[in-house]
Amino acid sequence: MNLGWWWRLFAGALAGFLFFHGFAATETAPNYSFMYDATSASTLSYYDYIIVGGGTAGCMSDNPMNAVFIPSPLPVEVSLIQVVGITHFGSYIEAASGENFAGGASSSPAVEYMNNLDETTFRGGFILEKVMGPISTGHLELRTRNPNDNPSVTFNYFKDPQDLQRCVQGIQTIEKIIESKAFFRFRYEFLSWPILLNMTANAPLNLLPKHYNPSMPLEVFCKDTVMTIWHYHGGCQVGKVVDLDYKVLGVDALRVIDGSTFNDSPGTNPQATVMMLGRYMGVKILSERLAN
Ligand SMILES: Cc1cc2nc3c(=O)[nH]c(=O)nc-3n(C[C@H](O)[C@H](O)[C@H](O)COP(=O)(O)OP(=O)(O)OC[C@H]3O[C@@H](n4cnc5c(N)ncnc54)[C@H](O)[C@@H]3O)c2cc1C
């Protein structure tokens, strides 16, 4: 087995993982102001440089995710995320494995590329940990007045040391899992834990500069390999930007009813809760209107 084979395997699995989960990238903007009080906004021009979710107006968050790739000598089940470990220290442990776990029937170039890869490329999978309810918060900033332009988002992953500690404990839990007897058949003996960490750390998981090597603490691994799991939330929290009826404070006839109102991203995946909230509020608004 040569090194080229490993890299092909790793690159294929990584392409799939990133295709589904995307890259974590943050940007900061040079000039901004905070909206400290949602009821005290003054003139429209003020909003050109406002940070939504900054100050006391909200708490934009994204759950940092860190993963370790484990090549397997055996074919593994195709799985996105089926088994979830809920820890006492505030992280979810999840797994994604097998061919096409990034998949779907899309005809995008990424899926075509993956379909053309050798089957062995997909032997293995990722075990990941997601920090629940991160304490670190960030902000969203408008870049221009054009509503079609993407805003700039800063999440400040691991700014709070407790988030970093929870990541370290999550990675240590992943180590325990793959060193367990049950996992034995699904890993190559010569790929030790430090090698696995190093392989992951050297992959292009994000756009951040790389520092990690096996002599360094796991804190460095967490910071270097952080990704998004796409569960950002909290830019419009209840009591800070919207009231209990999801009406924007200080604005007539405008409600926000979506994931941005969550204090925490619920469970492993938030979409069902977002849909439930939308339906609940839709029914409530309709029945209030009919009653009047
Ligand atoms: C790649 C990816 C994978 C995910 N996988 C899962 C998963 O497997 N399970 C799960 O539970 N969750 C998953 N999530 C998270 C889930 O999709 C989100 O939490 C959820 O969609 C949030 O719902 P929302 O209504 O808050 O926002 P969105 O679903 O983002 O809806 C916002 C809507 O607003 C529209 N919009 C934006 N700007 C404007 C504007 N100026 N004017 C008018 N309309 C506008 C957008 O077009 C969009 O339709 C994933 C997210 C991503 C990105």
pLDDT one-digit tens code per residue, 118-142: 767 678 889 999 999 999 998 887 7
Least confident span in 5-9, 79-83, 86-90? 5-9
CA dist., res. 191 & res. 35, Å (int): 51
The lowest-confidence range among 23-37, 227-241, 256-270 is 23-37
Whether 271 lines ligand 1, by a CB cut-off of 6 Å, is yes
pLDDT of residue 58: 54
Confidence bin at 76 (pLDDT 50/70/90): confident
Mutate to test the pocket of ligand 1, among 81, 101, 106, 258 (most ligand atoms within 8 A of CB): 258
Pick the more confident residue, 23 or 34: 34
Phi, psi of 178 (to 5 degrees): -80, -15
Could you count the other beta carbons within 10 Å of the beta carbon of residue 262?
A: 22
Give whichever of 11-15, 149-153, 236-240 has the largest mean pLDDT. 149-153
State whether residue 271 is helix, strand or coil.
helix
- 232: Cβ contacts below 8 Å, ≥ 6 apart: 60, 61, 62, 153, 155, 259, 265
C-alpha span between 166 and 164 (Å, rounded)? 5
Nearest to 250 by CA among 259, 260, 235, 240: 240
208 CA from centroid of ligand 1 (Å): 25
CA 265 – CA 167 distance, rounded (Å): 17
Share of the chain above pLDDT 90, in %: 47
> Is a pLDDT exceeding 90 seen at residue 179?
yes
Instruction: Tell me the domain boundaries of the chain.
Output: 3-230, 233-292
pLDDT band, very low/low/confident/very high, at 113 (cuts 50, 70, 90): low
> Tell me: the pLDDT tens digits for 139-162?
887 788 898 999 888 999 999 999
Q: Is 180 left (phi over 0), alpha (psi -120 to 50) or beta?
A: beta
Considering only residues 18 and 232, tell me which one the structure prediction assigns the higher pLDDT.
Answer: 232
Least confident of 15-19, 30-34, 68-72, 249-253: 30-34
Query: Which candidate in 21, 139, 231, 233 is catalytic?
Result: 231
Pocket test for ligand 1, best of 61, 92, 231 (most atoms within 8 A of CB): 231
Q: Give rounded-to-5 percent helix, strand, coil for the chain.
A: 35, 15, 50
**Secondary structure class of 75 (helix, strand, coil):** coil
> Across the strands, what pairs with 64?
228
Secondary structure E strands in 123-245: 124-131, 139-141, 152-154, 227-228
Q: What is the mean pLDDT of the chain?
A: 81
Mean of pLDDT values over 250-258: 87
Strand duo 50-52 + 64-71: pairing: unpaired
Q: What is the mean pLDDT of residues 273-280?
A: 97
Is the separation of the CB atoms in 135 and 23 below 8 Å? no
pLDDT for residue 145: 85
Q: What topology is assigned to 3-230 in CATH? A: Cholesterol Oxidase; domain 2 (3.30.410)
**Active site (annotated) includes residue 231:** yes
Residue 209 predicted with pLDDT over 70 = yes
Given a contact cutoff of 8 angstroms between Cβ atoms, the answer to whether 102 and 20 are in contact is yes
SS3 66: strand
More confident residue, 236 or 167: 167
Output the six-digit token pair for 265: 């991203």
Which has the higher per-residue pLDDT, 15 or 39?
Answer: 15
